[in-house]
């Protein structure tokens, strides 16, 4: 039986004051049966890592450099994220792919660095609206996952998470139907199962894209949806916790 992970991606939002209040609210609240993680802006990781100690809420970063150390201005090494207390790191978020031009190969290299450093990557995959309309959804998701498999192999997914995030649903208020999401999640699990059934069975596959307290229960009740990667609704402790309670 897989546990469910509700992870908050705070993106580039908040101030020291607002993020500490948010952490206080999340730690103090009822999270139901869900595992929780928060992914704050990098500059707040050390502070929030300290606040989360012994809370049972995990810390994650929003990206990681593909290199171990050196002259890579603006980047963060996996070892630094570990030192800050991170368990997770998001890789391949659609905003990184579309705004910053991160290719499948670069995402795969970042994923691999996270694995080598003992972090659990949350690999984001998903299609644009145009790709969905052209019935390319599964081809796109498979291509994005294949790039990672080619570098890290199926074994890496024993300590990784996949987040299916249709690009057209991120930050738009337009959520995938439970049936649309389940179909993609089941296809991902089937693909992984063909390589290693045990790893596929234990793999947490999160849904992301305008998940909120109103639509979470139906999405999370799907057999292959093992939690959520939450953007906007993770910025309010009550909404984030309400999603967790929907597990």
Q: Which residues are catalytic?
A: 93, 165
Closest distance of CB 212 from ligand PEP, Å = 8
Residue count, binding to ligand PEP (CB under 6 A): 13
Output 77 or 144, the one with its CB closest to ligand PEP: 144
Q: Give the C-alpha separation, 142 to 243, whole Å.
A: 28
Closest distance of CB 231 from ligand PEP, Å = 2
Distance of CA 101 to the CA centre of its chain: 19
- Using CB under 6 A as the binding rule, the residues of this chain from 175 to 214 that contact ligand PEP are 208-211
Closest distance of CB 11 from ligand PEP, Å = 6
Output 51 or 229, the one with its CB closest to ligand PEP: 229
Output 128 or 196, the one with its CB closest to ligand PEP: 128
Among 37, 89, 220, 229, binds ligand PEP (CB under 6 A): 229
Q: 3-state secondary structure string, the chain?
A: CCCCEEEEECCCCCCHHHHHHHHHHHHHCCCCCCEEEEECCHHHHHHHHHHHCCCCEEEEECCCCCCCCCCCCCCCCHHHHHHCCCCEEEECCHHHHHHCCCCHHHHHHHHHHHHHCCCEEEEEECCCHHHHHCCCHHHHHHHHHHHHHHHHCHHHHHHCEEEECCHHHCCCCCCCCHHHHHHHHHHHHHHHHHHCHHHHHHCEEEEECCCCCCCHHHHHCCCCCCEEEECHHHHCHHHHHHHHHCC
Furthest-apart CA atoms within the chain: distance in Å: 47
Residue 80 makes contact with ligand PEP by CB under 6 A: no
Closest distance of CB 208 from ligand PEP, Å = 3
Residue 232 makes contact with ligand PEP by CB under 6 A: yes
Q: Candidates 96-104, 165-173, 176-184, 238-246 — which segment interacts with ligand PEP by CB under 6 A?
A: 165-173
Select the residue whose beta carbon is closest to ligand PEP and give its number.
Answer: 231
Output 77 or 148, the one with its CB closest to ligand PEP: 148
Closest distance of CB 234 from ligand PEP, Å = 7
Minimal CA–CA distance to 207: which of 198, 215, 199, 196? 215
Among 35, 102, 127, 165, binds ligand PEP (CB under 6 A): 165
Residue 37 makes contact with ligand PEP by CB under 6 A: no
Binding residues (CB under 6 A) for ligand PEP: these are 9, 165, 170-171, 208-211, 229-233
């Amino acid at each position: 039986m897989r546990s469910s992970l509700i992870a908050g991606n705070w993106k580039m939002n908040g101030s020291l004051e607002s993020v500490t209040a948010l952490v206080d609210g999340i730690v103090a609240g009822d999270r139901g049966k869900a595992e929780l993680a928060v992914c704050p802006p990098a500059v707040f990781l050390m502070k929030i890592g300290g606040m989360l100690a012994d809370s049972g809420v995990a810390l994650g970063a929003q990206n990681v450099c593909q290199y171990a150390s050196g002259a890579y201005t603006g980047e963060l090494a996996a070892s630094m994220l570990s030192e800050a207390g991170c368990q997770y790191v998001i890789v391949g978020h659609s905003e990184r792919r579309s705004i910053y031009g991160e290719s499948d190969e670069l995402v795969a290299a970042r994923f691999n660095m996270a694995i080598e450093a003992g972090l659990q990557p949350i690999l984001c995959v998903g299609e644009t609206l145009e790709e969905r309309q052209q019935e390319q959804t599964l081809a796109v998701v498979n291509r994005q996952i294949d790039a990672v498999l080619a570098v890290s192999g199926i074994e890496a997914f024993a300590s990784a998470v996949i987040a299916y995030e249709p690009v057209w649903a991120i930050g738009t208020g337009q959520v995938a139907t439970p049936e649309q999401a389940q179909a993609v999640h089941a296809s991902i699990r089937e693909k992984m199962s063909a390589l290693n059934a045990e790893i596929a069975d234990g793999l947490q596959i999160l849904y992301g894209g305008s998940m909120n307290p109103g639509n979470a229960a139906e999405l999370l009740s799907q057999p292959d949806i093992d939690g959520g990667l939450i953007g906007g609704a993770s910025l309010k402790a009550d909404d984030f916790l309400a999603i967790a309670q929907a597990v």
